Amino acid sequence: MLSMRELSRVYRTEAVETTALDSIDLDIADGEFVAIMGPSGCGKSTLLNVVGMLDSPTSGSYVFDGQEVAGLPEGKLADVRKRNIGFIFQSFNLVDELSVRENVELALLYHDVPAAERRRRVDEVMDKVGIAHRAKHRPSQLSGGQQQRVAVARALVGSPKLILADEPTGNLDTQHGEEVMKMLQQLNREGSTIVMVTHSPAHADYAGRVVNMLDGKILIERRRAA
């Protein structure tokens, strides 16, 4: 699905140059569940942002689904991102003025999907993540775990090739965090490709592969035993 070679991201100001990613080589195949771990400031969130085309590399190659995307202008990056990638954030990022259904449907309004097809997809994905019975509720009426389920549904409704999850359990208690991780694991078993940043070794163990980072470099990768 994606391949990075000698990929670096350097941030420069007049006084300081900071290397956030340092010659990264990384391949992620269709259907993988990859967890990225490391201490704060190690580059894992920058890597996720580059994978998600929210940020661009300073140098190196990034091939996504057969297309070189390093160096593409923002407009073309946004188009590739919109068609292929779903995002799950730590802070949920739901619109409280909208119902659960409307929050999920919002992702499809940018895809020019006809109304009947939007309804079908929204119903299907809400049922898949177990929040169909909350369709008319507002986010403020839900628990943290339920809000994250809505966020997962919103990420899935566009049928993305890749799901990126940035600390998806960071704002959840232990029980709700485990529920979200089990849901992500099940989605992966059903074919979704997932890349997740996490601080939790226990949650990283849900992934099939763990990538450990330090100082902008990949230190070690390990695969979970089958």
Sign of the torsion angle spanned by Cα atoms 145, 201, 40, 216: negative
Strands 33-37 and 209-214: parallel
Q: Give percent of the chain above pLDDT 70.
A: 99
Q: Is 137 exposed, middle or buried (0-12, 13-18, 19+ CB in 10 A)?
A: middle
Q: Are 37 and 213 in contact (CB under 8 A)?
A: yes
Residue range 35-56: mean pLDDT, rounded: 92
Residue range 79-87: mean pLDDT, rounded: 89
Give the global pTM: 0.86
Distance (Å) of CA 77 to CA 46, 81, 178: 16, 6, 33
Residue 159 CB neighbour total at 10 angstroms: 13
Confidence at residue 226, expressed as pLDDT on a 0 to 100 scale: 56
pLDDT in tens, 182-194: 888 888 888 889 9
The DSSP element (H or E) to which 183 belongs, if any, is: helix 174-189
Residue type, 20: A
pLDDT in tens, 93-135: 889 899 999 999 988 887 778 889 889 999 988 888 888 999 9
What span, in angstroms and rounded, lies between the C-alpha atoms of 142 and 26? 38
What span, in angstroms and rounded, lies between the C-alpha atoms of 29 and 62? 14
